Amino acid sequence: MLPLTRTAASKRNPKLEALSAFVGTWKTVGTHPMVPEKTFNGRTTFDWIEGGAFFVMRSQIDEPEIPSGIAIFGTDDATGACTMLYFDERDVSRRYEVTIQDGVVSWSRDDADLSQRMTMTLSPDRRTITGVGQMSQKGGPWKGDLSLTYTRVE
């Protein structure tokens, strides 16, 4: 596959520009209610791809209970919608609707079996991100899901 042309790939998607504050490498520490009394450690990187046409999040968790994955963010000019496509080492592939506003990135998906939502809030000094996840199984009540604290490494 050929890369985008130099002109197209050298311009950032303006609808994703607010994600610039997240660019970098982050140490992650988190918990999941389905694995009580366990702390999960890992790394996450955020960066531009294709010259800024898309934004990528790559996450790696050191413990096997939480999968490592990749997420690609992009937008649709016709609707203004932002979407995240996610894939992880379990061969799980999902699409999430995304909102980006004032240092807060949220994504969600509604599904009959498993609905999920995550809110990631960047601290004013841009050194920490607090990520809080929730899930709803089979239309039931929302419960805690993976929650992570990200600390900027670089």
pLDDT tens-digit map of 92-147: 999 999 999 999 999 999 999 999 999 999 999 999 999 999 999 999 999 999 99
Number of domains in the chain: 1
Residue 44: name the closest of 66, 24, 73, 30 by CA: 24
Give the structural domain span for 100.
Answer: 6-152
pLDDT value of residue 64: 85
Pull the structure tokens for residue 52: 């800024």
Segment 13-38 mean pLDDT: 95
2 compared with 14, residue with greater pLDDT: 14
**Domain annotation covers residue 37:** yes
**Domain annotation covers residue 146:** yes
Pull the structure tokens for residue 119: 């809110």
**Domain annotation covers residue 1:** no
pLDDT at position 1 over 70: no
pLDDT at position 5 over 90: no
pLDDT value of residue 3: 57
- What's the CATH code of the domain at 81? 2.40.128.20
**Domain annotation covers residue 114:** yes
**Domain annotation covers residue 35:** yes
Which pLDDT tens digit goes with each residue over 52-86?
A: 999 999 999 998 888 999 999 999 999 999 999 99
pLDDT value of residue 138: 96
Residue 5: name the closest of 40, 53, 47 by CA: 53
Which residue reads 């969600």 in tokens? Answer: 108
Q: Long-range contacts: 142-147, Cβ < 8 Å, 24+?
A: 142/117, 143/33, 144/32, 144/33, 145/32, 145/33, 145/116, 145/118, 146/30, 146/31, 146/32, 146/40, 146/66, 146/118, 147/30, 147/31, 147/32
Confirm whether pTM is higher than 0.85. yes
Segment 17-33 mean pLDDT: 96
For 141, which DSSP code? -
pLDDT value of residue 120: 98
